[in-house]
Amino acid sequence: MANIKSSKKAIKVIAKKTDNNHELKARVKNLIKNCEKAIASNDVETATSICKDVQKYIDKSVSKGLIKKNTADRQKSRLSQKVKNMK
């Protein structure tokens, strides 16, 4: 445990940021799963709307440095391609 006041504050800040980062990563993963389910059930409208949300949250996570840019581009490309082929 830290003894210095600034170190104690840093520990709190790091914990808060970690929680926020974990929440954003989990949201992206859950949205991708939901989109995959919508694609599997041939629900075009739901899949399209979820795909837009996925792209928005993936871009947010890239800007925060949680996901690498190429990984994000690959995920968005694969998902949008699946939605496009569904139509």
Q: Is residue 62 domain-resident?
A: yes
Question: Which distant-in-sequence residues (6+ apart) come within 8 Å of 7 by Cβ?
Answer: none
| Res 46: pLDDT | 93
Domain boundaries, position 60: 28-86
Q: Is residue 49 domain-resident?
A: yes
Q: Is residue 53 domain-resident?
A: yes
- Provide the number of structural domains found in the chain: 1
| Res 24: pLDDT | 96
Q: What angle do CA 72, 25, 42 make, to 5 degrees?
A: 70
- All residue ranges of the chain with pLDDT < 70 are 87
Q: Is residue 80 domain-resident?
A: yes
Over pLDDT 90: what percentage of the chain?
94
Q: Is residue 78 domain-resident?
A: yes
Q: Is residue 10 domain-resident?
A: no
> Could you report the per-residue pLDDT of 18-32, keeping only the tens digit for each?
999 999 999 999 999
Considering the entire predicted model, what is its pTM? 0.85
| Res 23: pLDDT | 97
